[in-house]
């Protein structure tokens, strides 16, 4: 009896070779047949000896060691080799990431360097009580990889979002006053607020879920029109006319829509590592850093 084969092309979110240990499982939708294989995969993998008698559809589940589990449905026929139309992209599993490799401060966009130089963040102060700024602030983020990832994500998306005045959102940012893993609070001006209001690339959204910093009041929230990975600017103003923008990238349900991953039950703030993958795969924007995974140890069976 002839059997079917399945040819897979496995990549990261950015299209690079996956280079990971992978468990591949196939579940027939017509019978109880279930195949399971484990392999150290570079990019292309072929699974043979699949009974399709004579036609069948299988649920294919790809479970890499360091990336999220991806699944899809694949029709198969005896005697033929099935191949998905597109490469199977596997986004990183944030829980497997132990750190990031980010650009040196000197290699950062001038706009990012300017933000770091002007920042006044209460959680980052020196022993003398002064604010840590510039290269020292960037170095301090080594102990909080997700904060650094959030900064690089938002900087990349903001620099790619150009307004009617010919400047990007990044060009309008001053220093940060607060950092979280899913958002930055950045001093800005009325000019950015007005440009965002009048930009055809933004639309107004509800700001009820955003809390102003002390002394400021909400004046409006705007989000880009992207299907996934939207840049959202939520503006606050004090009585002196100073502006702060709560800047975040919305990844709500994005990871499940951009990639064919299994649903994730993890709750909490948006993970910047998921945002990194969405920007790469959906918008071709590279935030400029890569992931570090646990080091493999020697195993003796």
Q: Read off the CATH number of the domain in which 32 is found.
A: 2.60.40.10
The confidence score (pLDDT) of residue 256 equals 66
Judge if 159 and 209 occupy the same domain.
yes
Confidence grade of residue 143 (pLDDT, cut at 50, 70, 90): very high
7-11, 76-80, 254-258, 276-280: least confidently modelled range: 254-258
Judge if 63 and 130 occupy the same domain.
no
- Confidence check: pLDDT of 266 > 80: no
Q: Does 296 map to a domain?
A: no
Judge if 127 and 236 occupy the same domain.
yes
Please give the Cα distance from 27 to 215 (Å, whole number).
58
The confidence score (pLDDT) of residue 154 equals 98
Domain endpoint, select from 90, 117, 136: 90
Distances (CA, A) of 271 to 107, 109, 146, 194: 24, 23, 8, 30
Burial class (CB within 10 angstroms; exposed 0-12, middle 13-18, buried 19+) of 143:
exposed
* Selection from 298, 299, 297, 291 nearest residue 95 by Cα: 291
The confidence score (pLDDT) of residue 298 equals 74
59-102: pLDDT as tens digits = 999 999 999 999 999 999 999 999 999 999 999 999 999 999 99
The confidence score (pLDDT) of residue 122 equals 96
- Confidence check: pLDDT of 15 > 80: yes
Average pLDDT score over the chain: 93
Confidence grade of residue 199 (pLDDT, cut at 50, 70, 90): very high
The confidence score (pLDDT) of residue 180 equals 96
17-26, 117-126, 202-211, 228-237: least confidently modelled range: 202-211
The mean pLDDT value for 150-174 works out to 97
Domain endpoint, select from 90, 116, 138: 90
Q: Does 263 map to a domain?
A: yes
Judge if 75 and 132 occupy the same domain.
no
12-16, 51-55, 184-188: least confidently modelled range: 51-55
- Confidence check: pLDDT of 263 > 70: no
Q: Does 96 map to a domain?
A: no
Distances (CA, A) of 229 to 8, 86, 97, 220, 279: 27, 22, 21, 20, 6
- Confidence check: pLDDT of 253 > 60: no
Judge if 85 and 10 occupy the same domain.
yes
Please give the Cα distance from 49 to 40 (Å, whole number).
19
Q: Does 284 map to a domain?
A: yes
The mean pLDDT value for 134-145 works out to 96
Judge if 8 and 123 occupy the same domain.
no
Tell me the residue range of the domain where 144 lies: 103-291
Q: Does 270 map to a domain?
A: yes
Judge if 78 and 132 occupy the same domain.
no
pTM: 0.92
Judge if 160 and 198 occupy the same domain.
yes
Q: Does 98 map to a domain?
A: no
More confident residue, 267 or 182: 182
Judge if 169 and 50 occupy the same domain.
no
Judge if 69 and 180 occupy the same domain.
no
Domain endpoint, select from 52, 67, 90: 90
Please give the Cα distance from 157 to 174 (Å, whole number).
16
- Confidence check: pLDDT of 53 > 60: yes
Judge if 69 and 107 occupy the same domain.
no
215-247: pLDDT as tens digits = 999 999 999 999 889 999 999 999 999 999 999
Q: Does 49 map to a domain?
A: yes
Domain count, the chain: 2
Confidence grade of residue 254 (pLDDT, cut at 50, 70, 90): low
Burial class (CB within 10 angstroms; exposed 0-12, middle 13-18, buried 19+) of 163:
buried
Judge if 201 and 249 occupy the same domain.
yes
Q: Does 233 map to a domain?
A: yes
Burial class (CB within 10 angstroms; exposed 0-12, middle 13-18, buried 19+) of 282:
middle
């Amino acid at each position: 009896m002839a059997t079917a084969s399945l040819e897979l092309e496995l990549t990261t979110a950015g299209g690079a070779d996956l280079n990971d240990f992978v468990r591949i499982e196939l579940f027939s939708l017509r019978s109880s047949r279930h195949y399971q294989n484990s392999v150290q995969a570079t990019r292309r993998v072929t699974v043979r000896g699949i009974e399709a008698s004579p036609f069948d559809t299988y649920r294919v589940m790809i479970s890499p060691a360091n990336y999220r589990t991806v699944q899809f449905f694949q029709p198969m026929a005896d005697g033929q080799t099935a191949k998905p139309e597109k490469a199977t992209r596997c986004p990183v599993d944030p829980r497997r990431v132990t750190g990031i490799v980010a650009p040196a401060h000197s290699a950062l966009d001038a706009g990012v360097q300017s933000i770091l130089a002007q920042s006044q963040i209460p959680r980052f102060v020196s022993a003398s009580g002064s604010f840590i700024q510039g290269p020292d602030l960037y170095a301090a983020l080594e102990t909080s990889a997700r904060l650094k990832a959030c900064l690089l994500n938002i900087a990349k998306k903001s620099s790619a979002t150009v307004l009617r005045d010919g400047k990007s959102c990044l060009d309008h940012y001053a220093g940060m006053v607060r950092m979280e893993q899913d958002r930055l609070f950045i001093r800005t001006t009325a000019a950015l607020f007005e440009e965002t209001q009048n930009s055809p690339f933004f639309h107004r959204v509800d700001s009820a879920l955003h809390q102003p910093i002390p002394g400021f009041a909400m004046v409006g929230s705007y989000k880009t029109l992207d299907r996934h990975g939207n840049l959202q600017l939520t503006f606050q103003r004090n009585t002196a006319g100073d502006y702060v923008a709560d800047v975040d990238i919305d990844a709500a349900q994005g990871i499940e829509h951009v990639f064919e991953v299994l649903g994730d039950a993890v709750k909490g703030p948006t993970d910047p590592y998921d945002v990194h993958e969405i920007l790469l795969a959906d918008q071709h924007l590279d935030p400029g850093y890569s992931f570090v995974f646990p080091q493999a140890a020697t195993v003796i069976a």
